[in-house]
Amino acid sequence: MKFTKGLLQRASWDIKDAEVTPEAVFNDRRRIVKAMGLGALGASIPGHVQAGIFDLFGENKTQSPFITSSLSFTTNQAFAGQGIATPFNKVTSHNNFYEFGTSKQDPSENAQGFKIDPWKLVIEGEVEQTLTLDLDDLTKLMVLEERTYRLRCVEAWSMVIPWVGFPLATLLKKAGVKSNATHVAFETLFDPEQMPGQKSRLMGGGIHYPYVEGLTINEAMNDLSFLAVGLYGKTLPPQNGAPIRLVVPWKYGFKSIKSIVRIRVMDKQPPTSWNQLASHEYGFYANVNPDVDHPRWSQATERRIGEGGLFSAKRINTQMFNGYGEQVADLYQGLDLKSHF
């Protein structure tokens, strides 16, 4: 938010009322199927298909043995919406996390036995001091805040999610970034026993693991770059990247690497997983850009996941930098964003 001549005005990245969806939704699948006139046909549709079509109007399909806990945080009003974000059960059941499988439901089904304690996050490389943080450091020693961000997937769907965490820059400053640093690299946990997608090239989408990502140093130090340890006020579920993940809201979702164990400050551009797999489709920058299509689909619009299922999905125009251009456009001055995609 910003003030102009005594009036409170929205910044370009603020979440508008129309963009947020209610958390309270219907839970009775049979009643919904009957009301839509499907009768016996609806009853014969497999549960997971009904979920995909009608989305059960929000029925919580995952009974997670993974225990999340409440976090202590303040809400950053500059990133607070005037409503409730994409329903929790959709945020936690519609995921891309190929370490647990390539379908959207695989992570929520396959990650529930994921163990995060003990956990170590190492910050190393071109820094004044190497840091090693454990779970308590991530959730208790850091000052946590809640930020509601838009998430835009490269597959042309999107969500609005209230994350809890801290700016990436805060952590990098604690380590002391050296003057020769140009990039920051990130690495996901490599544990094939816990992450079945890392065992199987087919199940893991052909990615060479561990999953790696990267940002320029200026992107990493930008205030929007966020390390999330929770969502909806609680610690992250495993399918969403427990115990810590990156969130860079002006970039496509695959840049927001999950379950991070290593952050390395570098003096050169690091490799990134999707760029290694298909460089003609996934660039290093991966900024949300409605004018640069994916080779196999348009990026001009997106399907906003909110209340309801397929028939109620709202297709909206995609904004440059996902609507965060006011804070990040200057990072790319003089750069051809069509060739540096």
Give the dihedral sign, CA 248/249/253/258: positive
- Is 95 annotated for ligand binding? yes
Which residues are within 8 A (CB) of 237 and not within 5 positions of it... i.e. 6 or more apart? 64, 66, 68, 92, 108, 111, 231
DSSP 179: T
Which residues are within 8 A (CB) of 103 and not within 5 positions of it... i.e. 6 or more apart? none
Q: SS3 for 128?
A: coil
| Residue 72 in tokens | 């202590």
- Is 287 annotated for ligand binding? no
- Is 153 annotated for ligand binding? yes
- Is 182 annotated for ligand binding? no
| Residue 62 in tokens | 């995952």
- Is 60 annotated for ligand binding? no
- Is 256 annotated for ligand binding? yes
Nearest to 144 by CA among 171, 164, 173: 164
- Is 245 annotated for ligand binding? yes
- Is 298 annotated for ligand binding? no
Checking DSSP bridges between strand 314-317 and strand 301-304, what pairing results, if any? Answer: antiparallel
- Is 252 annotated for ligand binding? no
Cβ atoms 11, 1 nearer than 8 A: yes
- Is 96 annotated for ligand binding? no
What residue has token string 């945080």?
73
Q: Is the peptide bond before 192 cis (omega within 30 degrees of 0)?
A: no
State phi, psi for 221 to the nearest 5 degrees.
-85, -10
Q: How far apart are CA 251 and CA 85, in angstroms?
A: 19
Q: Residues annotated as binding site?
A: 95, 98-99, 153, 188, 240, 245, 256-258
Q: Residues annotated as binding site for Mo-molybdopterin?
A: 95, 98-99, 153, 188, 240, 245, 256-258
